[in-house]
Amino acid sequence: MSQKILIVGAGFAGVWGALGAARVLDGAGVTSSDVDITLISPRPELQIRPRMYEAEPQNMAAPLLPLLDAIGVKYVEGSVERISVADKTVNVVSPDGQQHSLAYDRLLLTSGSKLSRPAVPGLERAFSVDRIEDAVELDEHLDRLAAQPATTARNTVAVVGCGFTGIEVATELPKRLREKFGADARIRVVVIGSQDEIGPDLGVNPRPYIADAFETLGIETVLGSRVVAVDAQGVRTASGQHIEAGTVIWAGGMRASPLAAQLSSNLDSLGRVEVAADLRVPEAPHVFVAGDVARALTDDAGRYALMSCQHAVVMGQFGGHNVAADLIGAPTLTYRQPFYATCVDLGEWGAIYSEGWDRQIRLTHAEGKARKQMINTQWIYPPAPNRADALAAGNPLSSFG
């Protein structure tokens, strides 16, 4: 009977994890009758989450079945509800609601993250750009507003959250709103942040460029102000200010998949599993974790991976490599990714591209935008579904890292 590798999740870590695992087996001459790899996710597609702030979000997914087929990885459509480390099984709920159990010899958990939605009254009224379903809902809402008479509320969007996602969604909005509401519409975009700076986690170097882009695009900010309620007319802040807005977009940070808590009690403040150097879970040695669900060291200087697709792809390659290597008795690799870059889209202003953890700015405006478009339309898409290219893309030591 064949041994089984299960991969849970078809995000960046899961897809590159499947490529990494298949590459190891191929290199070792192990066939699928000896070891089979199965990937489980709710849909057979890679949702390109970094593009959810853009127009036409319904197009932001890449099909996976031809690619998985090319590398001999099976696919199961469903959602894992429970992981039993003691029995080495996962419990899967199929789209028709049926439950079944799948056994594994090695498991790679890559179930990612979700937008965190704290207990703010009325938050269910807010839109988001977390997943395709959310971004499409926002887009359809804006289309419905376009058919209504122009009012201040109709033309105003409040973006709650001034981190990476809040900045990208806000700076893209003036163009998207003008396309929907008309070139002469009096658009208002207000970014509300609980901290005193825009992009608090981005550090000092990007800030002047972001401020310049906001000014150029006419984006307003309300900083140092927490949103305490969302209502039909807009949002209310802790200081009592009410901002009238027909559209509220919540961009308040991410939280790791709850499956993490089934593997370990050693979780960080984002709910991520603290993993060993080879991405293994110390308390569950047959389980490896990669992507947004893992807290992993990227270098010897004590820097941890961020919830980002650049880290998820490379962690996926290492996780896939290690889950397969461990099963066939080959040595595992220490996950390392010392190179770090950031590219922030700033709408019609352009984009900024920086390198290093202190984010030294390398490209701005149109040059930065060209880099962002390259990343968003090429680099983060899965390889073509031919076996040689696909297996090569699974190599953790040739990556973008």
> Which residues in 159-218 contact ligand FAD (CB under 6 A)?
165, 168
Q: Which is nearer to ligand FAD, 138 or 259 (CB)?
A: 259
Size of interface with ligand FAD, in residues (CB under 6 A): 33
* x/- map, 86-125, ligand FAD, by CB under 6 A: ------------------------xxxx------------
Structure token pair of residue 255: 């939280």
Q: Which is nearer to ligand FAD, 77 or 244 (CB)?
A: 77
Among 156, 221, 247, 257, binds ligand FAD (CB under 6 A): 257
- The answer to the question of residue 44 lying near ligand FAD (CB under 6 A) is no
Backbone angles phi, psi at 309, to 5 degrees: -75, -25
Q: Which is nearer to ligand FAD, 188 or 372 (CB)?
A: 372
Calpha distance 248→128 (Å, rounded): 8
- The answer to the question of residue 298 lying near ligand FAD (CB under 6 A) is no
Burial (CB count <10 Å: 0-12, 13-18, 19+), residue 28: middle
CA separation, residue 18 to residues 10, 269, 280, 316, 364 (Å)? 9, 28, 16, 8, 35
Which helix (H) or strand (E) segment holds residue 322: the answer is: helix 309-328
- The answer to the question of residue 10 lying near ligand FAD (CB under 6 A) is yes
Calpha distance 296→298 (Å, rounded): 6
Please tell me whether residue 213 adopts helix, strand or coil conformation. Answer: helix
Burial (CB count <10 Å: 0-12, 13-18, 19+), residue 52: buried
Q: How far is the CB of 240 from ligand FAD (least distance, A)?
A: 30
Q: How far is the CB of 182 from ligand FAD (least distance, A)?
A: 26
Q: Which is nearer to ligand FAD, 82 or 144 (CB)?
A: 82
Q: How far is the CB of 150 from ligand FAD (least distance, A)?
A: 28
Q: Which is nearer to ligand FAD, 90 or 245 (CB)?
A: 90
* x/- map, 121-160, ligand FAD, by CB under 6 A: --------xx------------------------------
Q: How far is the CB of 292 from ligand FAD (least distance, A)?
A: 4
Calpha distance 178→307 (Å, rounded): 32
Q: How far is the CB of 234 from ligand FAD (least distance, A)?
A: 22
Residue span binding ligand FAD (CB under 6 A) among the ranges 94-102, 147-155, 305-313, 387-395 = 305-313
Among 6, 7, 25, 53, binds ligand FAD (CB under 6 A): 53
Q: How far is the CB of 221 from ligand FAD (least distance, A)?
A: 19
Among 5, 6, 7, 12, binds ligand FAD (CB under 6 A): 12
Centroid of chain to Cα 348? 23
Q: What is the DSSP string of 372-391?
A: HHHIIIIITSPPPS-HHHHH
Task: From 51, 112, 132, select the one nearest 343 (Cα to Cα).
Answer: 51
Question: Sign of torsion, CA 271 257 401 274?
Answer: positive
Q: How far is the CB of 34 from ligand FAD (least distance, A)?
A: 25
Task: From 193, 174, 192, select the one nearest 184 (Cα to Cα).
Answer: 174
- The answer to the question of residue 291 lying near ligand FAD (CB under 6 A) is yes
Contact 64, 15 (CB under 8 A): yes
Q: Which is nearer to ligand FAD, 246 or 253 (CB)?
A: 253
Beta strands in 72-213 (DSSP E): 74-77, 79-84, 89-93, 99-103, 106-109, 113-115, 156-160, 188-192
How many CB atoms neighbour CB 86 within 10 A? Answer: 6
Q: How far is the CB of 147 from ligand FAD (least distance, A)?
A: 26
Among 21, 275, 307, 391, binds ligand FAD (CB under 6 A): 307
Question: Sign of torsion, CA 133 137 140 142?
Answer: negative
Write down the H helix ranges in 39-163: 65-70, 132-146
Residue span binding ligand FAD (CB under 6 A) among the ranges 4-12, 149-157, 222-230, 332-340 = 4-12
Q: How far is the CB of 4 from ligand FAD (least distance, A)?
A: 16
Q: How far is the CB of 276 from ligand FAD (least distance, A)?
A: 18
Binding site for ligand FAD (CB under 6 A): 8-14, 40-42, 49-50, 52-53, 79-80, 110-113, 129-130, 165, 168, 257, 259, 291-292, 307-310, 312
